[in-house]
Amino acid sequence: MAKFSPCSRSRCAILLAIFALLTCVGAVSVASESNVAKPKPLDRALGRQLRGFQGKRSLRTFVEATKDDDDSEERVFNEFAKKMAQAAKNKLTSNNQATTDKLFKNLQVEGTGDKLFQSTQFEKWATTVAKNFKKTPEKVPTSMASALVSHYGDEALAALLVTAKQNYQSRTVATQLENGLLQNWKSAGKTGDDVFELLKLSDKGEKLFETPLAPIWMSYVTWLNKENPGEVIFSSLKKLYSDEVLAKMIVGAKNSANVGATANKLEYLQLNKWLSEGKTIDDIFKLFKLNKEGEKLLQSPMLRTWISYVDLQGKNPYDLLLVKLSAHYDETGLAKMLVAAKEDGKTHFIARKLEEVQFKNWQSDGKSADNVYNLLKLNLDGDDILKNPMLTTWISYTTKLDENPYELLLANLLKHYDDATLTKMFVAAKRSSATGFTGTKLGEVQLKNWLSSGKTADDVFKLLQLNKDGDTILASSIWSVWSSYLTKLDKENADELMFVVLKKHYGDEGVAKIVTVANKGVSTKDVGRKLEEELWRSQGKDGNDIFKLLKLDEEGQKFFESPALRTWISYVTRLNKFNKKSPDAISQLEKRFGEMELARMIGVAKEKVTTEATEKVIAQLQDLQFKQWLAARMTPRGLSDKMELTGFDERNAKVVLDYVDFVRLH
């Protein structure tokens, strides 16, 4: 019997393994299909190749072969073995793919339409395919994607995957299948341009980035070219679109959630390509036809791309842009255009930048605040000046000059209007959101000027011509301005100051009429009450007089519910403020009702209160009485004993309990 070398035995073992693998492949094929598959041409070819190899090997023996022959034969054998193994692998994959395709049809997966990935049929199919590829699970997505492409086609399948990825229930499987689809394209040797045509993206024209299939194409190009995908995408697009069209497409896509990041990279590449080609700033300005936009220049979506190109060249785009705009507008017209553009969210940023350049130019030209005031024709606006949108431009410029625009504006306005007219203008301006801030600032400067010039309360009363308003003076639109000035003059005694001036111009009877009218108006009632108190004080009336005047003495124990009680307490408190010897409200009420009885009345009234206003007044009175007791070091026990001295009264318990709570908190 012939002997074989160890090398020959190992080769035989390898060949036997390959034959066994091929046999298994056939078995898998038979088991996976209902009918027996006929031998494939590839099988016979592999058999002939193998027999030829064995015939050649039988011509040699180990003794006759030289070492060089062994090495050469080893290389030939290894190469052949690799081919055989790959053939077996391909055969196995081919059989599994055929099984995947057949299962797709048998399970009628194709009948589920756009609900494909959520169907029961699809789930069964996916599960079975996964079992067939148990040893190579990474091939499941590619096998399924291949079957789906055979049924739907590349474009339709890609569209289905995009839709499915938007649904959280099918997002994961759709993403896996998309990766399988991309892998199949790569295995088939398809270039980015091939897939571009495969997905029919060339039919989309300028709306390329709007199609949901564009991101899939970009993902594939990125997969193929991980180092510079942007450049490859840009190169592909440049073959199809002109510079102008591509630039517009990129601008339109920059805010897209799907392709925005890629669009920004493409813009960067395009700008740098223009730079390398020596394109000038004017070249790009004309390329985008910005020179033909006229008044709509700032609204052009291409303007920002041009600005980016100027930035790339290290120049200030807003300097250049203002020069171009100046060819169409005079300074006044340009300022008006910028004011309007600042109100538009899309052009606000550019308009602000252009305004900064305009201010810089005015400063360089030595233009003063007055110069620009006249340049903007604010001196011709009359009563509507505060509504003029150009006023904000002038205020901003004056502020840039480190001057107070409101002081200068007030000085200019005083050349044409009296204080009364200006005050009415400022008050009206404060009621509008558009002019409110300016009106408020001018009003503040006006008060400051009156103070610095030593104007008295009576002086300003006359300046504002309030004496012309008669009994309705408190309803005047500018009453609040005079009232604010009084507070600045003497915050603690503003009410007294008000009364003194009114009494000077109207007398007691006139002030009484003003109070009567004021008490009928919701907005003037509080001021009317304060004036009334000042009128009583000037007449020397004490708390007892007003208690009777307000007819509280006729209410009995129900006087707590009278709205007049609040007025009386306020007046008595005011008297005590100016004269500490004047008894406070609690002292006067205790004198009228008795200390303990008043406490009981307050306790009962607290339980029967029906309005929030009355509740506050009663709580205020009880608080005042309890503070007096606490200051006198009266304990709850001492209070209880004192109340019992007047005999048993079921109301006592409520008072004592309230006082216990008060002491605990204080």
Query: Contact 528/474 with Cβ under 8 angstroms?
Result: yes
Evaluate if residue 317 carries a pLDDT over 90.
yes
b/e burial code for range 365-391 (CB count within 10 A of at least 16 → b): eebebeebbebbebeeeeeebbebebb
Evaluate if residue 188 carries a pLDDT over 70.
yes
* Interatomic CA distance for residues 237 and 652, integer angstroms: 95
- Calculate the alpha carbon distances from 361 to 243, 368, 402 in Å: 35, 12, 16
Give the pLDDT confidence score for residue 582 in this predicted structure: 86
Nearest one of 502, 483, 480, 503 to 491, comparing CA atoms: 483
* Interatomic CA distance for residues 49 and 43, integer angstroms: 10
Evaluate if residue 581 carries a pLDDT over 60.
yes
Side-chain half-sphere exposure of 550, counting CA atoms within 13 A: 26
Mean pLDDT of 577-590: 88
Secondary structure element (H or E) that encloses residue 70, with its range: helix 67-106
Evaluate if residue 414 carries a pLDDT over 70.
yes
Query: Contact 342/355 with Cβ under 8 angstroms?
Result: yes
Q: How do residues 42-67 score in pLDDT, each as one tens digit?
A: 233 323 333 333 344 443 443 444 44
Q: How do residues 415-457 score in pLDDT, each as one tens digit?
A: 989 999 999 999 999 999 999 999 999 999 999 999 999 999 9
* Interatomic CA distance for residues 552 and 572, integer angstroms: 14
- Calculate the alpha carbon distances from 28 to 84, 90, 126 in Å: 18, 13, 19
Give the pLDDT confidence score for residue 71 in this predicted structure: 55
User: Which of the given ranges, 401-415, 523-537, 608-622, has the highest pLDDT on average?
Assistant: 401-415
Average pLDDT of the chain to the nearest whole number: 85
Amino acid, single-letter form, for residue 625: Q
For 183, residues 6+ apart whose C-beta sits below 8 A from its C-beta are: 141, 142, 145
Point out the least confidently predicted range of 6-20, 83-97, 324-338, 564-578.
6-20
Query: Contact 533/571 with Cβ under 8 angstroms?
Result: yes
Q: How do residues 592-618 score in pLDDT, each as one tens digit?
A: 999 999 999 999 988 888 888 888 999
* Interatomic CA distance for residues 217 and 201, integer angstroms: 9
Q: State how far Cα 566 lies from the chain centre.
A: 49
Give the pLDDT confidence score for residue 32 in this predicted structure: 44
The share of the chain scoring above pLDDT 90, in percent, equals 63
Give the pLDDT confidence score for residue 248 in this predicted structure: 95
Place of tokens 């129900």: 558
Mean pLDDT of 307-315: 95
Secondary structure element (H or E) that encloses residue 61, with its range: none
